[in-house]
């Protein structure tokens, strides 16, 4: 067991930082490797994250040979003629995103058995939209013994309107539609860059997908798909986390190859808070002001403000002068980090999905627990500004989505280290 220890209060981040491939893109891309019936698929720019190892296990469990070269940051899979039908509880319970194998297994095999993912700390996270989309394509779905069992001799194209633009449901239904007979028209779908990345890989594999990135995707089913090469899109959430870190610490950091289009709402809020946002040839530079200004933020599906940057933004709001608000509209239980931040002196009133934060400049370090992935990053950001020592526990959450987070912050000038619990007395 390890903790991250930050000696905060004086941190001023400077330099440049490289961003990994996106966790939320690579997981569905790995699920897409189930679809080809011939050839090799090579994914480049794969982030080294615990979630990637879990998804690799799911893919291997389906009898698809998979090699992860951490040095090269590539995953290579060989199309299998016969794949297994089951994604077991052991893996799906660890990582909700593994539910996106349901559509591809069903499309390839006509039969899939996937453990139900259950809820998680940020909300209940049902999968009704995934199942409704697959049913619209002719799947018969039953739920028994903690498993979802789906059958369809041959999926057919469907016209499906999604009540809410769910990211995972869009990915599941889109992948199933690639091998369905006929055309599918999917309306009110998610528009995230990770959806576009998935559609790009599917088209390289021989699928016929149009409209990804808009609210309507049209898929003409094809008979079979083949392997392809693809580089994972940059992680806009990791990029956004470093942008906020720079803004909060009066820093001057170049976020290499950051894509303005993918982070428009965050960049707009950073400007409103008084940070300089400068587009340079090789990335986006963020220069933090002496004092951040308070802002009002509401999370929304893309292209709105991402819920995955909500926690990190509340860390910035906690040190911004004046009263800020955060309204979380995507997940019903995503404010647990604020309870931990109170331990560092943050003044916040929470009522249902709204947090009202009074910014302060006298926060102090404390021992805190990360309650989920983005909470862990948010607590570390706040720890760099709060004076004294902050110790962040439960790092398994951080490792799901950030590669070498503390090393990258240390290289930018943060006084931060990761230590084993038994070494803490020596710090
Ligand atoms: C691996 C991955 O890419 N994870 C991201 C993905 O999660 P995920 O794909 O799980 O998120 P969704 O877009 O599906 O969920 C958004 C909202 O829709 C609800 N919902 C979803 C599906 C469904 O069938 N029924 C239903 O009601 C959820 O409970 C939630 O309130 O998008 C989220 C929203 O941007 C991000 O926070 C996650 O980081
Ligand atoms: C909530 C997140 O991920 P997941 O959907 O994998 O839990 C996230 O990336 O912030």
CATH of the domain at 407: 3.65.10.10
Average of pLDDT values for 218-238? 98
Within 8 A by CB and 6+ apart from 303, the residues are 191, 264, 265
Residues 239, 225 share a domain: no
Residues 163, 119 share a domain: yes
Determine the structural domain holding residue 143 and report its residue range: 23-231
Contact 289, 250 (CB under 8 A): yes
Distance CA 261, CA 65 (A): 36
Residues 303, 203 share a domain: no
Residues 61, 207 share a domain: yes
* Ligand 1 atom closest to residue 166's alpha carbon, by position in its atom list: 13
Average of pLDDT values for 62-67? 98
264 C-alpha to ligand 2 centroid (Å): 20
* Ligand 2 atom closest to residue 23's alpha carbon, by position in its atom list: 9
Please report which helix (H) or strand (E) contains residue 151, including its range: strand 147-151
Lowest pLDDT segment from 113-122, 310-319, 374-383? 113-122
Determine whether the annotation assigns residue 346 to a binding site: no
Please report, for residues 58, 116, 118, 131, the alpha-carbon distance to residue 89 in angstroms, rounded to integers and kept in the order given.
10, 7, 10, 18
Residues 250, 219 share a domain: no
In this prediction, the answer to ipTM > 0.95 reads yes
Note the ligand closest to the C-alpha atom of 95: 2
Residues 227, 241 share a domain: no
Determine whether the annotation assigns residue 301 to a binding site: no
Residues 137, 77 share a domain: yes
- The pLDDT score that the predictor gives to residue 128 is 96
Q: What is the pLDDT of residues 415-424, one digit of tens each?
A: 999 999 777 7
Determine whether the annotation assigns residue 127 to a binding site: yes
Residues 252, 187 share a domain: no
- The pLDDT score that the predictor gives to residue 422 is 75
Determine whether the annotation assigns residue 372 to a binding site: no
Distance CA 289, CA 350 (A): 27
Determine whether the annotation assigns residue 129 to a binding site: yes
373 C-alpha to ligand 2 centroid (Å): 7
Residues 417, 381 share a domain: yes
Whether residue 24 has its Cβ less than 6 Å from ligand 2? yes
Cα–Cα nearest to 207, from 225, 186, 234:
225
Which of the two residues, 8 and 123, has the higher pLDDT score? 8
* Tokens representing residue 314 in the block: 């509340």
pLDDT band for position 426 (cuts 50, 70, 90) = low
Whether residue 96 has its Cβ less than 6 Å from ligand 2? yes
* pTM, entire model: 0.98
Whether residue 163 has its Cβ less than 6 Å from ligand 1? no
The three state secondary structure string of 42-69 is EEECCCCCHHHHHHHHHHHHCCCCEEEE
Whether residue 25 has its Cβ less than 6 Å from ligand 1? no
312 by Cβ neighbours in 10 Å (0-12 / 13-18 / 19+) ranks as buried
21 counts as catalytic: no
* Tokens representing residue 20 in the block: 């990994």
What one-character-per-residue DSSP string does 3-22 give?
EEEEEESS---EEEE---B-
49 C-alpha to ligand 2 centroid (Å): 13
Average of pLDDT values for 126-146? 97
The structural domain count of the chain equals 2
Helices and strands of the chain, counted as H and E runs: 14, 26
Of 207, 231, 255, which closes a domain? 231
Q: What average pLDDT does the structure give for the chain? A: 97
- The pLDDT score that the predictor gives to residue 120 is 82
- The pLDDT score that the predictor gives to residue 1 is 87
DSSP state of 198: H
Task: Tell me the residue length of the chain.
Answer: 427
Residues 259, 244 share a domain: yes
Distance CA 226, CA 186 (A): 23
- The pLDDT score that the predictor gives to residue 423 is 75
Whether residue 156 has its Cβ less than 6 Å from ligand 1? no
H helices present in 273-363, as ranges: 310-318, 336-342
Distance CA 157, CA 220 (A): 8
* Tokens representing residue 24 in the block: 């939320």
Within 8 A by CB and 6+ apart from 297, the residues are 269, 305, 310, 313, 317, 324, 325, 326, 327
H helices present in 166-223, as ranges: 167-178, 193-204
Residues 412, 361 share a domain: yes
Smallest CA separation from ligand 2 atom 1, residue: 308
Site to substitute for ligand 2 among 22, 24, 121, 332, most atoms within 8 A of C-beta: 24
Catalytic member of 120, 218, 294, 419: 120
In the sheet with 283-287, reading across from the earlier edge strand, the strands are 14-17, 252-256, 283-287, 276-280
Residues 266, 402 share a domain: yes
pLDDT band for position 427 (cuts 50, 70, 90) = low
Q: What is the pLDDT of residues 156-202, one digit of tens each?
A: 999 999 999 999 999 999 999 999 999 999 999 999 999 999 999 99
Of 208, 231, 254, which closes a domain? 231
Of 168, 201, 231, which closes a domain? 231
């Amino acid at each position: 067991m390890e903790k991250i220890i930050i000696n905060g209060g004086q941190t001023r981040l400077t330099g440049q930082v490289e961003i990994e491939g996106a966790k939320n893109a690579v997981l569905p891309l790995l699920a897409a490797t189930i679809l080809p019936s011939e050839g090799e698929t090579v994914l480049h720019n794969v982030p080294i994250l615990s979630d990637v190892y879990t998804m690799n296990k799911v893919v291997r469990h389906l009898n698809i040979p998979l090699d992860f070269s951490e040095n090269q940051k590539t995953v290579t899979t060989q199309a299998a003629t016969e794949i297994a039908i089951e994604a077991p509880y052991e893996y799906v319970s660890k990582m909700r995103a593994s539910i996106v194998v349901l559509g591809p297994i069903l499309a390839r095999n006509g039969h899939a058995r996937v453990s139900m993912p259950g809820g998680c700390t940020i909300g209940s996270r049902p999968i009704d939209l995934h199942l409704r989309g697959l049913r619209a394509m002719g799947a018969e779905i039953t739920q028994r013994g903690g498993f979802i069992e789906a059958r369809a001799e041959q999926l057919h194209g469907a016209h499906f309107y999604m009540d809410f633009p769910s990211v995972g449901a869009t990915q599941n239904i889109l992948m199933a539609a690639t091998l369905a007979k006929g055309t599918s028209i999917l309306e009110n779908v998610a528009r995230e860059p990770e959806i576009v990345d998935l559609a790009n890989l599917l088209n390289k594999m021989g699928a016929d997908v149009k409209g990804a990135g808009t609210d309507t995707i049209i898929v003409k089913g094809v008979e079979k798909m083949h392997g392809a090469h693809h580089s994972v899109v940059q992680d806009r959430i990791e990029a956004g986390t470093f942008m906020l870190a720079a803004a909060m610490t009066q820093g001057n950091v170049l976020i290499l190859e950051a894509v303005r289009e993918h982070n428009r709402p965050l960049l707009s809020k950073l400007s409103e808070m008084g940070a300089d946002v400068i587009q340079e040839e090789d990335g986006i530079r963020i220069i933090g002001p002496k004092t951040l200004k308070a802002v009002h933020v509401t999370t929304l599906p893309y292209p709105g403000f991402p819920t995955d940057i909500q926690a990190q933004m509340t860390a910035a709001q906690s040190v911004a002068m004046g009263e800020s608000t955060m309204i979380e509209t995507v997940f019903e239980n995503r404010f647990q980090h604020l309870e931990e931040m109170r331990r560092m002196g943050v003044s916040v009133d929470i009522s249902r999905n709204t947090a009202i934060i009074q910014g302060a400049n006298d926060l102090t370090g404390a021992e805190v627990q990360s309650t989920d992935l983005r909470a862990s990053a948010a607590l570390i950001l706040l720890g760099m500004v709060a004076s004294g020592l902050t110790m962040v526990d439960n790092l398994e959450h951080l490792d799901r989505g950030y590669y070498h987070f503390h090393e990258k912050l240390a290289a930018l000038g943060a006084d931060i280290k990761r230590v084993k619990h038994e070494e803490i007395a020596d710090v």
